[in-house]
Structure 1
Amino acid sequence: MFSTIGATLSAWTGSVANAIIACVNRIVSPRVVRLVEADDGGFAVQATGNVDILPSRIAYADGALTAPNLAALFRGRRVEIILQPKRFLFRPLELPARAADFIEGIVRAQIDRLTPWSAAEAVFGCTAPVAGGSDTISTMIAATTRKVATTYTQAVAAFHPSAVAVCTGVEGQANPVKVFEQSARGHLDAARLSRVLQLVLGVVAVVAVLAIGVSAYVGSSLGAQEDELARQISTRRAAIRAGGDGGDRSPVAALERRKYETPASVIVLETLSRLLPDHTYVTELHLAGNKLQISGITTDAPSLIPLIEQSQHFTRATFYAPTTRAPSDPGERFHIEARVEPKNNMGNAVGNTVAP
């Protein structure tokens, strides 16, 4: 399966590369240098565009071209080598009219019958088809060996042209017939461009797979966070609804209970000011929960315990430190500790006391 996919991909990228090169060649046509073979084996030179130094003749011997400034003449140009017809074998071919679009494939399949060479050994070209009747067309095939064609193309390829084509003239045809063409391995070489396309496709595929993986991971993570937020929102809404219902376990009810069960320091101080006699002065007061500690100066410290115990606001009154008297003090210094009753009882009591 992988080999089939690889072959299909290679064929597709090769087709795309050839199409790109064909489009570029149409847009930017390379300058053409035409070498026309003479009877002595040398070549006359014909060139399009501006050529600084154009040799009048190029000698050819032992598979090599000889002339001054050949590198400047051929570099980057398309070279067409027009060989004499004596180097080719010509065969007329008559085909059905509907085979006009498949002439090259038909000739390639029958080349061993039309010529003395096999398909691997021969190179060929065909003239434009000519209608021979209502249902037939005819063409002329020019063929030679691949060795002959490559001998000339290799001689020119050493000078780095953009492409080299081997052609020949056919009697009755104004334009020569191309039998072989070789593209130089430049920036737009089909094989190299095909490999680049395959590399680009591979990189795009890897990036696409990574993007899909990252997208799935991020989507899963965001989905989990969204679910967690929805759960927290539902929990908070349920707690708010439970608090609004006024149940015993709701936050509002708990806050209400704490309000009435925790004594307020202002109310405690108001109650003490009403209980203690005028000769008693409180210098320190500490309230921690339901535990009250007071310190101060009085003329009769033991009488304070009964006064505090008799009140319904305090219980368990006792001295938590010895009573002392300094020479400079106007009375006895006392330290009394008592338990404070809950606020609701104290509030009612204070309200009854203050009402008159």
Structure 2
Amino acid sequence: MKFLQTIGTFFRGWTDSVAALMIAAFDRVSSPRVIRLIEQDNGGFAVEAASKSENLPARIAFADGSLSAPNLAAMFRGSRVEIVLQPKRFLFRPLELPARAADFLDGIVRAQIDRLTPWSASEAVFGCSPPIESGSESITTVIAATTRKVAMTYVQAVLIFHPAAVAVCTDVAERNAGRVKVFEQKARGHLDAARLSRALLAGLGATAVGTLLAVIAATYVADSLGAQEDELARQISQRRAAIRASSDGGDRSPIAALERRKYETPASVIVLDALTRVLPDHTYVTELHLAGNKLQIVGITRDAPSLIPLIEQSQHFTRATFYAPTTRSSSDPGERFHIEARIEPKNTAVP
């Protein structure tokens, strides 16, 4: 649990830093228009702006915590408003410090504000003039301070018009210290640091979830492809084993079946050769039918009955018999016979 809290703290700090850098960069790139409200003796404000515009009023009245003038919303929206209050609203204190304290001036004054002013650090707003060397190893600054309640009275009157930022300043006449800013508040807009940090944290979380889902999906797909690859490898191995078994000459292999068919099926050429050897010269074959292991011949001869023993004497034929009557016509030079015999497959020629 502590480990998760540590990670959460780290990421929150990281997003806060990134948000602050983004806002600072945006502020440098897009500097808003600066409008100064200079407090007058009658309690109202004179308006100063870097660029003159017909829409800017010369004076703005202030009463009961509200500003009143034409076109205030258009004038203040998106602008940086600097409220310059009269010095009579502030308490000024000179402060002498060692020269090396110049880099930590704000923190040092904040730690001693209750000794320098009648208010505590939570009740006061303050600013310091640029330090001036008062010796070889010391500096002098002027502190301008007032209550937070006074500053917020004017700040709230401007914030309702949605400016980009509101600052409270005053002029320090003592030692010609110039203008000092005692308070500044940036409006909560689209680039609010807290909101931007939360958005960055949410985006980081969404990216982490998306990455996790992508890893899970990739793992699932890899497992599925691996299973398919194993199945293909298994089928290939089986097919190779069957091919090897076939090449080994087994009784059920395709090669063995072809070999058996080779020797069990009679060859037509060998049958014809055997017939020419056994039949006498006065015998003529006019028809020959070969179907499987059965041979049928039709022809003319001088002595038909003598053909049966001649055919059976051959090692290629058995069971020779007449399958139709023997006939003689006046046009034939001999007897017309119809003999049927069984073929014994011996696919080698007999010398």
Same fold by TM (over 0.5)? yes
Q: 2:186 is matched by which residue type in structure 1?
A: S
* Equivalent of residue 140 in structure 1, options 135, 138, 142: 142
Gaps of 5+ in 1: 287-291
1:10 to 1:260, Cα distance in 2 relative to 1, 3 A: closer
Aligned match for 1:55, one of 54, 57, 70 = 57
Conserved? CA contact 2:271–2:316, under 8 Å: no
Change (3 A) 1:24 1:93: same
CA apart distance, 1:87: 1.9
2:269 match? 270
Residue 214 of structure 1: CA displacement?
A: 4.4
Q: CA deviation at 1:250?
A: 7.3
CA distance in 1, matches of 2:134, 2:31: 35
Q: Deviation per CA, 1:283-321, whole angstroms, max 9, x where unpaired?
A: 3423xxxxx244554679998876665444467x589xx
**Could you tell me whether the CA contact under 8 Å between 1:93 and 1:140 is conserved in 2?**
yes
Shift of 1:178: 1.4
Q: 1:92 to 1:255 in 2, by over 3 A?
A: same
Q: Which amino acid aligns with 2:274?
A: L
Q: How much does 1:80 deviate?
A: 0.4
Residue 249 of structure 1: aligned partner: 248
1:187 aligns with 2:190: yes
8 A contact 1:162–1:184 mirrored in 2: yes
Report sequence identity in percent. Answer: 55
Give the 3 Å change call, closer, same or farther, for CA 137–24 of structure 1 in structure 2: same
* 2:345 maps to 1:340: yes
Q: Distance in 2 between matches of 1:309 and 1:93?
A: 144
How far has the Cα of 1:62 moved from its partner?
Answer: 0.8
Structure 1 distance, partners of 2:307, 2:138, is: 139
SS at match of 1:68: coil
Given the alignment of the two structures, is residue 282 of structure 1 paired with residue 281 of structure 2, yes or no?
no
Deviations 1:89-139 (A, max 9, x none): 333333333332222233333333433333333222222223333333332
Corresponding position of 2:21:
19
Residue 87 of structure 1: which of 86, 89, 93 is its match?
A: 89
In the aligned structure 2, how far is the partner of 1:45 from the partner of 1:59?
11
Deviation digits for residues 149-191 of structure 1 (CA, Å, limit 9, x no counterpart): 2221111111121111111122234642112112122332222
CA separation in 2, counterparts of 1:94 and 1:203?
53
- Name which of 31, 38, 41 aligns with 1:39: 41
Distance 2:38 2:133 in 1: 30
The aligned residue for residue 213 of structure 2 is 210
Equivalent-residue separation in structure 1 for 2:54 and 2:164 (angstroms): 19
Q: For the Cα contact (< 8 Å) 1:43–1:59, is it kept in 2?
A: yes
TM-score (norm 1): 0.74
Please give the alpha-carbon distance, in whole angstroms, between the structure 2 residues aligned to 1:307 and 1:106.
139
Give the drift of 1:207. Answer: 3.1
Aligned counterparts, 1:232-243, within 5 A? none
Q: Deviations over 1:324-354 (max 9, x none)?
A: 5699xx967666554524xxxx33xx1x53x
Contact 2:304–2:326 (CA under 8 A) maintained in structure 1: no
TM-score (norm: length of structure 2) = 0.75
Q: Deviations over 1:58-106 (max 9, x none)?
A: 1111110011111121122110001122222333333333332222233
**CA apart distance, 1:235:** 9.3
- 1:301 and 1:334 in contact (8 A); partners too: no
CA RMSD of aligned residues (A): 4.1
Q: 1:302 to 1:208 in 2, by over 3 A?
A: farther
Over 3 Å counting, the alpha-carbon distance change for 1:24 and 1:324 in structure 2 is: same
> For the structure 1 residues 169 and 238, does the alpha-carbon distance in structure 2 shift closer, same or farther, using more than 3 Å as the test?
farther
**Residues 1:262 and 1:126: Cα distance change in structure 2 (over 3 Å):** same
In structure 2, do the counterparts of structure 1 residues 261 and 239 end up closer, same or farther at CA, with 3 Å as the change threshold?
closer
- Residue 289 of structure 1 corresponds to which residue in structure 2? none
Counterparts of 2:14 and 2:97 in 1: how far apart (Å)?
31
CA distance in 1, matches of 2:324, 2:205: 96
Q: Give the partner amino acid of 1:285.
A: A
- For residue 11 of structure 1, what is the amino acid of its counterpart? G
Q: Which amino acid aligns with 2:206?
A: V
Distance 2:106 2:233 in 1: 71
User: Paired residue for 1:117?
Assistant: 119
The aligned amino acid for 2:271 is L
Comparing 18-27 with 156-165, greater Cα deviation is found at 18-27
Aligned partners of 2:169, 2:306: CA distance in 1, in Å?
Answer: 138
Residue 76 (structure 1) aligned to one of 64, 75, 78: 78
